[in-house]
Amino acid sequence: MTDETDISTANTMRERSGESRIKLWLLLRANRLLVSSVLTSAVFVAFVIAVAVLDPPFSRQIASGDMIDTMFSTMISVIVTGTTLVVTIGQLVLSQENGPLGDQRERMSSSMDVRDFTEELIGSPSPADPSEFLRQILGITAQRTTALRESIDKNDNENLREEVDEFAESVTGNADTVRDQLEDTQFGSFDVLFAALNFNYGWKIFQVERLANEYEESLNEEERGLLDDLKTALSLFGPAREHIKTLYFQWALIDLSQMILYAAVPALAVAGIMVAIVDAGTFPGSTLGLDHIILVVGGAFAVTLVPFMLFVSYVLRIVTIAKRTLAIEPLILRESQR
């Protein structure tokens, strides 16, 4: 069960998830090309070791049948089908950006309304850079939190003063940390979204609501107004982060489609060469006890898997983010997500 009075809860995603740094690094922070390379290399090593160790010997199998033809003919079909599917997904993502003039005007109008509201909130034009846009919202959130603490310091209720002081320390500390992470980041990389995920605004909104309700009789009109102002700033961060997340998903899926198309061409070429040319006698001899044919088939198999490994590496990041940001409102879906 979540303790509703636990104000200074964990702020960063790693602290909230309770998972190891290495696991989160592989799922989120690591370069997707590096992850796909590691996965491909692991398949190659596993294939070579298994084929070299297990009976019957690999050379005997390929000499007595058409195993290479069957194996790589199947991979050609998989590559073509998988590439077509992923590109179709990319086209569906792009289709969301298309529409008649009226829809585009409504979309633009809604976006400008949010920018106007943000301009009124922060007291200056809304930044065009996504990272700076989030930084400005966090900045005004920290300012309003400080103003609330200074006002509550004069309140006669000691428990209220202590809770608000602890709450303000948590909010300003978290906001300053995320603002530092957002500085000099550029959209298109994962850094902007990852930093935004480290600000657990939902739990903070709930704490504002709880304080306003629990200490209703102790709060004067000015203090209630400051709580409402802080809630407004925190509430804006939610849709702002979700918008950045949506844009990143679209960006990542387009990148994924491009990379899979680039990888599919050499993968098809390798698979075709293996079907057309390679047989048991094409690569005689051995190195360090490993038959050359095993290394060649294992390497070719790994190359044909590159498009799939790219897909896996990108989807792992996307589904991990999606799972941890399912609720935009202050709903704690599991205890470790506070």
pTM of the predicted protein model: 0.83
Q: How many domains does the chain have?
A: 1
pLDDT, tens only, 156-169: 888 988 999 999 99
**Within the chain, which residues score under 70 in pLDDT?**
1-19, 64-65, 93-94, 96-99, 330-338
User: Is residue 185 packed enough to be buried (19+ CB in 10 Å), middle (13-18) or exposed (0-12)?
Assistant: buried
pLDDT, residue 134, reads 92
* 189: three-class secondary structure by DSSP: strand
Q: Provide DSSP, 5-39.
A: T--S---SHHHHHT--HHHHIIIIIS-HHHHHHHH
Nearest 10 degrees: Cα torsion 331, 335, 337, 338: 70
1-53 pLDDT, tens digit per residue, is 445 555 655 666 666 656 678 888 888 889 999 999 999 999 999 999 988 88
Tokens of 298: 């294992």
112 within a domain of the structure (yes/no): no
Whether 5 is in a domain gets the answer: no
Residues 186, 188: Cα–Cα separation, whole Å: 6
Give residue 280's domain range.
Answer: 13-98+129-337
Axis-axis angle for helices 32-53, 306-324 (nearest 10):
130
Query: At a CB cut-off of 8 Å and minimum separation 6, what does 257 contact?
Result: 86, 87, 89, 90
The answer to whether position 120 is within a domain reads: no
Q: Is residue 330, in this structure, part of any structural domain at all?
A: yes
Q: Assess if residue 115 is contained within a domain.
A: no
